[in-house]
Amino acid sequence: MQIQFLGTGAGMPSKQRNTSALALKLLEERGSFWLFDCGEATQHQMLHTTLKPRKLEKVFITHLHGDHIFGLPGMLGSRGFLGGSGRLDLYGPKGLREWIEVTLRISRTHLNYELAVHEVDEGTVFEDESFIVRALPLDHVVPCFGYRVEQKPLPGKLLSDRAREAGVPKGPLLRELKEGRDVVLEDGTAVKSSDVTGPPQPGFTVAILGDTRFTANAVELAQDADVVIHEATFDRESAHLAGPYGHSTIIDAAKTAVLAGARSLIANHISARFLPEDAEHLAAEAAEVFSPVEIAEDFAEYEWKDGVLKRIN
């Protein structure tokens, strides 16, 4: 799993930071990526990455402020032109369906693929055999959701010695067993996957939170998460603005991560008042409460692997 930031600014684009969007890359896990928010020019940002719009499988919208959705209609239109023919699922608060339908109709944008719009409420918004996504309302100035993405446990590692002892030949049967399916050998012997594989491996959990004041629901979504992505519009000095505008400080983000027992924190939605060289100062404020913390930059890419968050781009 990798996370790539396409826009990390708050409210308006600046030269350093575009408006909100990030890609959860699940290319190894499911051959696709998911987008969380789609601020203006997200598709332009994507042109500077290896992300292909045709591989976009789902879009989760945290709330309907323009800096989180104004890139969506253009992205939906381009996806079809760029070979995206599979269904696209769009999740977000009530009002998203009306906005997208009116925008597409009046601009005469015809999609050549199925678009399924799901207006979410708190609880499970998506589940299949390998992932579950839950949403809870946050505390912003308009209805806003945070999402918790959990990968279900993965089949255990293949124990080659045991498989050999059981008489399993090299080849496709090994793969079947490795993927959790029982098999029958040529001589009629049944071999159970659980007999030749180790215990199931835990999947990853990432919490992606929208604009919010400090709130218990954010802590709940981030509970024991491997990676928490939390807005940090303000710092200690500008903290008096956080409440009135429905936002958090970098310290609120760190507090959420520490109370949740999370393993790592990435702060995004950074006000244009902070210049790139202020990232160190923001990280230092967070580190008083929680570490490790990263201050996201546009195009920065992180990988969660073997229990560690690493910047890879």
The stretch among 90-98, 153-161, 203-211, 218-226 that binds Zn ion (CB under 5 A) is 203-211
For residue 211, state whether it binds Zn ion (rule: CB under 5 A): yes
Out of 67, 211, 226, 235, pick the active-site residue.
67
Nearest CA among 11, 15, 22 for reference residue 294: 22
Q: Which residues contact 222 (CB under 8 A, 6 or more apart)?
A: 148, 207, 209, 228, 230, 256, 257, 260, 262
Q: Of the listed pieces 43-51, 67-75, 193-201, 260-268, which binds Zn ion according to CB under 5 A?
A: 67-75
For the CB of residue 268, give the shortest distance to Zn ion in the complex, in Å: 10
Residue from 17, 55, 58, 65 in contact with Zn ion (CB under 5 A): 65
Q: Decide whether 67 or 226 has the Cβ nearer to Zn ion.
A: 67
Q: Binding segment for Zn ion among 62-70, 125-133, 287-295, 303-311 (CB under 5 A)?
A: 62-70
Number of residues that bind Zn ion (CB under 5 A): 3
**Whose Cβ is closer to Zn ion: residue 91's or residue 304's?**
91
Site string for Zn ion, 242-261 (x = CB under 5 A): --------------------
Choose the stretch contacting Zn ion; rule: CB under 5 A; options: 28-36, 63-71, 88-96, 260-268: 63-71
Report which of 5, 49, 53 is spatially closest to residue 32, judged by C-alpha positions: 53
If the CB atoms of residues 154 and 241 are measured against Zn ion, the closer one turns out to be 241
Binding track over 11-50 against Zn ion, x by CB under 5 A: ----------------------------------------
**Shortest Cβ 211–Zn ion spacing (Å):** 4
Does residue 67 carry a catalytic annotation? yes
Is residue 97 within 8 A of residue 116, CB to CB? The reply is no
Shortest reach from residue 29's CB to Zn ion, in Å: 28
CA distances from 289 to 267, 292, 307 (A): 14, 10, 21
Distant-in-sequence, close-in-space partners of 94: CB < 8 Å, separation ≥ 6:
119, 143
Q: Least distance from C-beta 65 to Zn ion, angstroms? A: 4
- Binding window for Zn ion (CB under 5 A); candidates: 58-66, 113-121, 199-207, 212-220: 58-66
Q: How far is the CB of 66 from Zn ion (least distance, A)?
A: 9
Counting contacts by CB under 5 A, is residue 150 touching Zn ion?
no
Pairing outcome for strands 190-191 and 21-26: unpaired
The yes or no reply on residue 67 touching Zn ion (CB under 5 A) is yes
How many Cβ atoms from other residues are within 10 Å of residue 36's Cβ? Answer: 27
| Residue 263 touching Zn ion (CB under 5 A) | no
Would you say 214 or 304 has its CB closer to Zn ion?
A: 214
Residues within the interface to Zn ion (CB under 5 A)? 65, 67, 211
- For the annotated catalytic residues, the residue numbers are 67
